[in-house]
Amino acid sequence: LDCKMNSATLCTSPTNTTPNTTCDLYAHRDIASILIPLHYSIVFLVGLFGNSLAFVVILQNRQKVNSCTMYSTNLVISDIIFTTALPLRIVYYALKFHWPFGEALCRITALVFYINTYAGVNFMTCLSIDRYFAVVHPFQYTKIRKPKNVKYICCFIWFIVFCQTLPLLASSLSQEIENGVITCMEYPTFEETNPHLPQLLLGACFIGYVIPIGIIFICYSQVSLKLYQIAKRNPLTEKSGRNQKAINVIILVIIVFVVCFTPYHVNIMQHMIKKLQYCPSCTQQQAFQASLHATVCLMNFNCCIDPFIYFFACKGYKRKVMKLLRRQVSISLSSAVKTGPDESLHDMLETKQVTSNQSTTTN
């Protein structure tokens, strides 16, 4: 598409036979300026609190590190970095898709967004594989699950993620549309700068979504089968809780993929397939642009769910979080109890002093 001002120039298509007409792709700006900032404000508060709490617990227990903890830690770091960029995006959507912060910050926030997406997918896939090894092959592949080797795997994943995302810094991601309004990191900008975008996005969806979700479902099915066989041979093993922890992790990862990542990638793939066949009509383009904003919001909600993955995945985390929260509550209560009597004593002294003054005046 050749985007022009606030509109996209339409080519001839089965449903739109009038060439050289324009289409307002941001017709939903009024409702979006309310709902999207509200959504991202919730994501910012919940995601920052949950992931920061997880990170505090990690720092307090860094001596007891295993493979699961290391993958979860990288997931948490990725989410914290992402939440720091959200305030600028909240302002952008509240201003009805206007970016007043300049091209450099636009590229940086786009980089942070895609780093979080790719890192999240990769580390959740690693978590599922790790649970598969822990349950299905507990005495094999032990070397690959050692913290030293997991550290190398995490570094390699970050290297791949940066290789995928750093090229964004070399291209312009902002675009002036109408009346001085500047958009940032919007689909029409990518489409205008890359004529082979449909092929690239379909390839990215296959590598970044189809393959990982296939691996996760294979791991889940194998873990479920193994747990069923163990329970059938020895029902007492279910009481240990170790197998249940593995199942909880993979179930949560699948929920994140199905609820957060699936709508976005399905939406991208169906529209790219359409574009390879014909030029979509204005109505179809508007629907895609609006649904893209909605599914991106849903995808970014994963940073609120990730702390729960860590909650169930890592040994002792649940107990330590509850201990931390109880300590904070007890400090608040003890401070309230101490303040209460002091205030009461102060009030009594003031009352006595007033009474004494009144008596002196009367005399």
pLDDT tens digits for range 200-238 = 899 989 998 999 999 988 988 898 888 878 777 776 655
Dihedrals phi, psi of 6, to nearest 5 degrees = -90, 10
Beta bridge partners of 23: 8
Beta bridge partners of 7: 4, 24
Type of residue found at 331: I
**Residue 333 falls within a domain, yes or no?**
no
**Residue 361 falls within a domain, yes or no?**
no
pLDDT tens digits for range 264-302 = 999 999 999 999 998 889 999 999 999 999 999 999 998
Structural domain boundaries, residue 285? 2-317
pLDDT at 319: 64
pLDDT at 141: 83
Q: What is the DSSP letter of 176?
A: E
Integer Cα distance of 28 and 23 in angstroms: 12
Residue 24 is part of a domain; what is its CATH number?
A: 1.20.1070.10
154 vs 46, 149, 184, 246, CA distance in Å? Answer: 25, 9, 30, 20
**Residue 28 falls within a domain, yes or no?**
yes
Lowest-confidence range among 5-19, 131-145, 164-178, 286-300?
A: 5-19
H/E segment holding residue 211: helix 211-233
Predicted TM-score (pTM) of the model is 0.78
pLDDT at 355: 53
Number of folded domains in the chain? 1
Taking the CA atoms of residue 342, residue 346, residue 352 and residue 358 in that order, the dihedral angle to the nearest 10 degrees is -170
**Residue 63 falls within a domain, yes or no?**
yes
**Residue 44 pLDDT more than 80?**
yes
β-pairing, 7-9 with 22-24? antiparallel
**Residue 3 pLDDT more than 50?**
no
**Residue 103 falls within a domain, yes or no?**
yes
What would the mean pLDDT of 161-170 be, rounded to a whole number?
A: 84
pLDDT at 18: 40
**Residue 325 falls within a domain, yes or no?**
no
**Residue 354 falls within a domain, yes or no?**
no
**Residue 350 pLDDT more than 80?**
no
**Residue 29 falls within a domain, yes or no?**
yes
